[in-house]
Amino acid sequence: MIGKKSIETVQDFDMVIFGATGDLSFRKIFPALYYRLNEGQVKPKSRIAAIVRKKEDEVNFKIILQKNLENSVININSAVLNDLLSKVDVVSISDNSAYLKLEDWFKRSFNSVRVYYLATPSTVFGSIAKKLHEHNLITIQSRIVLEKPLGKDKGSSNEINGEILAYFSENQIYRIDHYLGKETVQNLMVLRFANYLFENSWNSNHIKSVQISAAESLGVEKRGDYYNQYGALLDMVQNHLLQLLCLIAMEPPSMLNADEVRVEKYKVLKSLRLINNQNVEDCAVKGQYSRGGTNEMMLPSYLEDIEDFSSETETFVAIRAYIDNWRWKSVPFYIRTGKRMSEKFSEIVITFKNVPHNVFPEQKNFINNKLIIRLQPKERIEFVQMVKVPGPGGYRYKPVSMKLDYQESFKGRFPDAYERLLMDVVRGNQTLFMSNDELSASWDWITSISNAWKETGHKNNLYKAGTDGPGDEILLNDDQWHKNSSE
């Protein structure tokens, strides 16, 4: 395993997972706990309470959990699996005694760190926090983890945050955005702040544009009910893509700690130029996938997927954003995300300006230097430069990529984002979690776009499932969407 020798254990903890039978728990939270246990980071006295809804789930839960882990964990070690299962106690929330049972559960503990993980819809966050308070279950060493989406607009987000802040202080609240736990996303900060080369040219004097894409080939799968209420703007842009934009655009923090990093990201969000009724038509496109694919493999439309033929929810968004500050004056940040696109990849492309004077007049198609940061899959960093083609007969050039491939450079398994983030919660490190200020600023920007769409009657552009979606006009003809260059 990568870095196995240097892994430091975290303090023993009690983790209470609300929504333990949900997709997120089985797919992400429990596998993350397994891997951390397997790599020796979780100490022996740590315990987990899985909160389930129905009484009958108490009996079946561990059997289902075991099957899920056996299916999802690579090369599972049965001793570690049994160890993890032995740490789990199942508590059903079907009657009023659930919180009394939790009180009892904590009485049997020697651990001071308590983590409440709310993997539930945000509509019940407030009532859970209130119950925990009423049963005196919130201690100074308690932390609460909130899954997105926190609300649907600025107003509902403020309301939910207010309900939590009534019982937990800001330094106990961990608003999780799993993109921040991805290895390659963390490497963005290392790339910028541990290398001298880039920082001098990291501004509008040298950078022509930035593209941030998160494309997915799958549709909405079994999450249609959830997705149809939110759409791509709230599901992906409000959180993941804005966080990526912040990491690219922020000023260097004076130290890598939560206060310093989060305040710099907040400043970026506050500087985003508002998109409103006047400019929404020019700056933001939304789309929805229609039936596509090939004769051999037809892909259903979004409406067929969710079996609601009147839905106007967008499954694709492309935005041209500007950050109104000195560093980024007039540099377009193109943001794009969509479901059922031609392939799954997330990447950031920094396009540099062209040379100020061309000393090779015979060369017509000079390309701009590009720094391509591939977040997934096949994580890597590429630097595209013009190179002379070897041989006699004068100068001939072509663009060639210099590549740093993560898998080749660092052999082994890359930990999933949730592994890092869960351990950070136990350690009490909020650097990779969103602050309330960031959240509020991101909602200002996003709510302005969604209101403008509503008020101007902006419609979805249809795109065929399996294609790259609409949204080219956002580029104002001065660029092209970067084509995936994974091979």
Residue numbers of the site for ligand BG6 (CB under 6 A)?
214, 216, 235, 346
Residue placing its CB nearer to ligand BG6 in the complex, 221 or 260: 221
List residues bridging with 13 in a β-sheet.
113
Least distance between ligand BG6 and beta carbon 225 (Å) = 13
206 is catalytic: no
Contact between 317 and 284 under an 8 Å Cβ cutoff? The reply is: yes
Residue placing its CB nearer to ligand BG6 in the complex, 72 or 203: 72
Least distance between ligand BG6 and beta carbon 313 (Å) = 12
Least distance between ligand BG6 and beta carbon 28 (Å) = 10
6: which 2 tokens?
């240097």
Least distance between ligand BG6 and beta carbon 21 (Å) = 18
Tell me the DSSP string of 301-367.
-HHHHHT-TT----SEEEEEE-B-STTTTT--EEEEEESS-SS-EEEEEEEEPPPSS-S-TT---PP
Residue placing its CB nearer to ligand BG6 in the complex, 47 or 482: 482
Phi, psi of 386 (to 5 degrees): -80, 135
Least distance between ligand BG6 and beta carbon 286 (Å) = 15
Residue placing its CB nearer to ligand BG6 in the complex, 346 or 436: 346
Query: Under 8 Å CB-to-CB from 431, ≥6 apart: which residues?
Result: 256, 257, 258, 261, 262, 424
DSSP state of 143: E
Residue placing its CB nearer to ligand BG6 in the complex, 116 or 179: 179
Least distance between ligand BG6 and beta carbon 214 (Å) = 6
3-state secondary structure of 380: strand
Phi, psi of 351 (to 5 degrees): -100, 125
Query: Under 8 Å CB-to-CB from 238, ≥6 apart: which residues?
Result: 148, 149, 442, 443, 446
CB nearest ligand BG6: which residue? 235
Among 178, 240, 458, 482, the active-site one is: 240
CA distances from 252 to 218, 270, 271, 374, 471 (A): 36, 17, 16, 22, 32
Q: Whats the size of the chain, residue-wise?
A: 487
Residue placing its CB nearer to ligand BG6 in the complex, 235 or 379: 235
Nearest-CA neighbor of 154 among 450, 473, 469? 450
User: CA triplet 215, 218, 222: central angle to 5 degrees?
Assistant: 130
Active site residues per annotation: 240
